[in-house]
Amino acid sequence: MSLAELIRGVEAYEKTLTVFNSDETTVDSLRTQFGDRNLTVEHETATGPDSYVVLSEESEFVTAASVADVLATGSDTEPELASDTYRPILDHLDETIFTSYDTEQMIAASREIEDRAWRLGTGKLHAGFQKLSILNPQMDIYERLASEGTLNVHAYATPDDDVPHHDTDLTIHVERSDEIRESWFVVYDGGGVDVNKCALVAEEREPRSFYGFWTYDAETVDWLLDYLDETYGVLAQ
């Protein structure tokens, strides 16, 4: 299974957010808030309290919350990776596809994972930059990461520029691979602690427009790490 196949596997499982006993303005706000997610927002009236939502997957109940709690998260649906910031609905949108993220959104999402690796200062961090010309402007950040504690940092890119010189333990994988050229990923093993594991995986389906998902699932992160280790082993330096 490739990275693209993994993304398509996640994409196949669309979730449904049903909004009960709320007005159309509220429903429209929620549709806007989750507009970049592989999530259907429906509106229903039922006996019970006002303004609550139910999240379901393949007609199976996942979680429920008040509309006020969900709207309180704001319109920013980028991943927040610290465990103490999980919210009732966003927590359960783990491994839900996001659509049409631009470069700025992808950088912001990547920074969340890089920051976790920086703060913990241990374990392995793997990042795919598509091309060396994209990696080069990020070298200051990745040299800092590679010099932090016992963090083992790997960067992947296709050769369209010189391999950047560095004086750290950063490992650069130069790959002539369509998958590396078309994929953006940041995968952190959490220093071997399952609760700290996280990853962002996306593919560029249109020019600088990315489709993918983020995950906190330890098994998915472990699969990604094994896949990268087994598939890409040619090192530039």
- DSSP codes, 10-34: HHT--EEEEEES--HHHHHHHHHHT
Can you give the CATH number for the domain in which 120 is found?
3.30.870
Same domain? For 106 and 201 the reply is yes
Can you give the CATH number for the domain in which 69 is found?
3.40.30
Same domain? For 169 and 125 the reply is yes
Which residue range is the domain that position 24 belongs to?
13-78+86-93
Residue 5's DSSP bridge partners are none
Same domain? For 121 and 165 the reply is yes
Residue with tokens 């429903």: 27
pLDDT digits (tens, 9 = 90+) for 175-201: 999 999 999 999 999 999 999 999 999
- When pLDDT is cut at 50, 70 and 90, the band that residue 12 belongs to is confident
Could you tell me if residue 4 is inside a domain?
no
Could you tell me if residue 158 is inside a domain?
yes
Angle of CA points 118, 124, 127, to nearest 5°: 80
Could you tell me if residue 154 is inside a domain?
yes
CA torsion sign for 52, 56, 59, 61 is negative
Q: What's the Rg (C-alpha) of the chain?
A: 19
Could you tell me if residue 223 is inside a domain?
yes
Domain boundary residue, one of 93, 125, 148: 93
pLDDT digits (tens, 9 = 90+) for 198-221: 999 999 999 999 999 988 889 999
Could you tell me if residue 103 is inside a domain?
yes
- Residue 97's pLDDT is 83
Q: How many domains does the chain have?
A: 2
- Exposed, middle or buried: residue 80 (CB in 10 Å: 0-12, 13-18, 19+)? middle
* Residue type present at position 213: F
pLDDT digits (tens, 9 = 90+) for 16-74: 999 999 999 999 999 988 888 888 999 999 988 999 999 998 888 988 988 988 887 65
Domain boundary residue, one of 93, 120, 143: 93
- Residue 13's pLDDT is 80
Q: What is the pTM of this model?
A: 0.80
- Exposed, middle or buried: residue 126 (CB in 10 Å: 0-12, 13-18, 19+)? buried
Same domain? For 47 and 155 the reply is no
